């Protein structure tokens, strides 16, 4: 049997992805990528720490990033993307820029982080006042708000789940419920944080319901990486990606002076599958059998 007539495979251009050790949404990242582009993923080394500010600092250490970038070098990506929101905002805007520089210098390639990509996406759609939705504890959510404030972005409302593990199991309906509670009339846009929180299919539905742009961590990460390759991301009916559906952002009403913005902590409530959310403060980390 002769197979020469089949041709192919399609020549591929590559993005190198550095993800935290617990990242579980590889398939979701691929949904934003066209057929002629491949994702090459590597993960940071495992540590027995649950999702917290401590974990964010550990998975964003510069030497860890350099080693991950070196692991990706053999497949010759055109850009490096660090796919972790908390790991890239925990050090503030200065820390985010330093991370991007460390990866870029190690790879001798353009590099982006999720939090840096978020600021780039907010500038693209002209949003300066946003609502945020996170699966994190209060302390990690506070750190995101601090990062945005440093960048001149105001948070008008927020909701968080208080989770410290298995974030990838959160169903779309719980993401949507948080969005409804956080997004108020003063928000130009909504941001759904955490690259381990599924969002691809829920984005267009929330944009239609809330009548404002909705951004997510994985969306902005892949969008920014592809942008550096002059390639368009794949995201039908997503405002950031599909100009035909872009919602114009105009003046928004302001809250009366002194009136606090909405904040909803959903810890202790029940997820759609009946699982009860963990408390806001993470429980003690048990001994890890892998280390014994």
* More confident position, 71 or 10: 71
* More confident position, 266 or 58: 58
Token reading at 218 = 């994985």
pLDDT at 185: 78
**How many residues can be counted in the chain?**
292
| pLDDT of 203 higher than 50 | yes
> Does the domain at residues 13-249+259-281 carry the CATH identifier 3.90.1150.10?
no
Look up tokens 């980390």; give the residue: 285
The full DSSP string for 258-278 is TPPPPEEE-TTSB-TTSPBPP
Look up tokens 């927020």; give the residue: 158
CA 278 from chain center: how many Å?
21
Give yes or no for a contact between 14 and 77, defined as CB atoms under 8 angstroms apart.
yes
pLDDT tens digits, one per residue of 219-263: 999 999 999 999 999 999 999 999 787 754 443 334 444 445 566
| pLDDT of 5 higher than 80 | no
Among 41-50, 185-194, 239-248, the range scoring the smallest mean pLDDT is: 239-248
Nearest-angstrom CA–CA distance, 23 and 214 = 22
Token reading at 194 = 């955490």
pTM: 0.85
| pLDDT of 142 higher than 80 | yes
pLDDT at 209: 95
pLDDT tens digits, one per residue of 103-118: 999 999 999 999 999 9
Closest C-alpha among 158, 122, 156 to residue 252: 156
Q: What percent of the chain has pLDDT over 70?
A: 82
Token reading at 272 = 């759609």
Among 179-183, 216-220, 253-257, the range scoring the smallest mean pLDDT is: 253-257
pLDDT at 197: 98
pLDDT at 184: 82
Nearest-angstrom CA–CA distance, 169 and 25 = 10
């Amino acid at each position: 049997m002769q197979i020469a007539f089949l041709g192919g495979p399609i020549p591929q251009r590559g993005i190198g992805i550095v993800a935290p050790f617990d990242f579980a949404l590889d398939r979701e990242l691929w949904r934003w990528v066209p057929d002629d582009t491949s994702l090459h993923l590597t993960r940071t080394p495992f540590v027995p720490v649950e999702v917290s500010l401590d974990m964010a600092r550990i998975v964003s250490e510069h030497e860890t990033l350099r080693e991950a970038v070196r692991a990706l070098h053999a497949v010759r990506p055109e850009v490096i993307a660090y796919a972790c929101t908390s790991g890239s905002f925990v050090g503030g805007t200065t820390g985010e820029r330093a991370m991007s520089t460390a990866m870029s210098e190690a790879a001798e390639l353009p590099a982006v982080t999720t939090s840096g990509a978020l600021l780039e996406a907010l500038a693209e759609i002209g949003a300066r006042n946003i609502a945020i939705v996170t699966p994190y504890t209060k302390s990690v959510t506070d750190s995101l708000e601090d990062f945005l404030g440093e960048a001149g972005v105001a948070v008008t409302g927020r909701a968080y789940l208080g989770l410290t593990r298995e974030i990838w199991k959160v169903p779309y309906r719980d993401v949507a419920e948080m969005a409804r509670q956080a997004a108020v009339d003063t928000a130009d846009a909504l941001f759904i944080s955490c690259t381990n929180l599924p969002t691809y299919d829920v984005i267009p539905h929330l944009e239609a319901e809330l009548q404002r742009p909705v951004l997510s961590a994985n969306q902005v990460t892949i969008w920014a990486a592809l942008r550096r390759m002059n390639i368009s991301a794949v995201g039908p009916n997503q405002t950031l990606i599909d100009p035909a559906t872009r919602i114009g952002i105009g003046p928004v009403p302001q809250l009366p002076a002194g009136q606090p913005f909405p904040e909803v902590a959903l810890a202790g409530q029940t997820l759609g599958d009946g699982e009860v959310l963990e408390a806001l403060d993470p429980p003690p980390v048990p001994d890890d059998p892998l280390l014994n």
